Amino acid sequence: MRLDKFITACTDFSRSQAKKIISKEGVSVGGVFIKDPSCKISDQDEVYLLGRRILLQGARYIMLHKPPETVCTSINDDSRSVMGLLDTDKLENLHIAGRLDIDTTGLVLITDDGAWSHRITSPKKKCGKRYRVGLADAVQDGAVALFKQGVQLKDEAQLTRPAELEILSSNEVLLTIHEGKYHQVKRMFAALSNRVISLHREQVGSIELDETLEEGAWRYLTESEIDSVS
């Protein structure tokens, strides 16, 4: 990696700012001041910027408990973005692996690892997402079997993929889907002439929302949680 690109990856400096610092002998590599921004850096090199060692940050994997009335967009698109809840640098490098509607709460996964998030969001991977659903009316008889075979959504040519429905009470269910169509959970129950009044995502793949996280709180994923996405 070029020295100037390495600096921008490790800091908030722009490429032009990095070049200026390099030209003024503000950067040393292996104890030697470098003035060439195109100098190649290896993983073994010790790079010091203005007397402080800088390190290339590895990929980040974050779990966030989304509150209601927040949106899953970049921080620059909307002041209500969940990204504004994160206390970490370089937010512009992070993206959301599977968005939730503004009124939906629960588990949101955020990362800067594109391949990892693709394994969550790609329909081909059939990654399960479990939701706790509150309904306006009692769930109808036969709903479990109907969801298992697939539901015909309005304006869709094909049935949804088979989904697992667990009835907790007359008006509350757990639903696990393996795709991510637009407003899918709400549309599935609308197809049964019912209405979703609360929606909370509890799990994505094998990753469950940490019960200790309050709404708006977040933490980095454990190694086992990261590795569970394959």
pLDDT, tens only, 93-140: 899 999 999 999 999 999 999 999 999 999 889 999 999 999 999 999
Q: Which of 16, 31, 54 is the last residue of a domain?
A: 54
Backbone angles phi, psi at 73, to 5 degrees: -135, 175
- Round the CA-based radius of gyration of the chain to a whole number and report it: 23
Question: What is the reported pLDDT for 140?
Answer: 92
Are 49 and 90 within one domain?
no
The overall average pLDDT reported for the chain is: 93
Report the domain count for the chain. Answer: 2
**Quick check: is 103 catalytic?**
no
Are 18 and 127 within one domain?
no
Question: What is the reported pLDDT for 69?
Answer: 94
Q: Of 59, 58, 62, whose CA–CA distance to 225 is shortest?
A: 62
Give every residue of the chain whose pLDDT is below 50, as ranges. none
Are 143 and 75 within one domain?
yes
C-alpha to C-alpha distances, 183 to 103, 151, 179, nearest whole angstrom: 11, 14, 11
Residue 198 domain boundaries: 61-227
Question: What is the reported pLDDT for 79?
Answer: 77
Separation between Cα atoms, residue 208 and residue 206, nearest integer Å: 6
From 78, 101, 113, 210, the catalytic residue: 101
HSE, side-chain direction, 13 A CA sphere, residue 179: 15
Are 131 and 83 within one domain?
yes
Question: What is the reported pLDDT for 90?
Answer: 81
Question: What is the reported pLDDT for 43?
Answer: 75
- The domain that holds 145 is classified in CATH as 3.30.2350.10
C-alpha to C-alpha distances, 147 to 11, 19, 98, 169, 183, nearest whole angstrom: 49, 58, 21, 17, 16
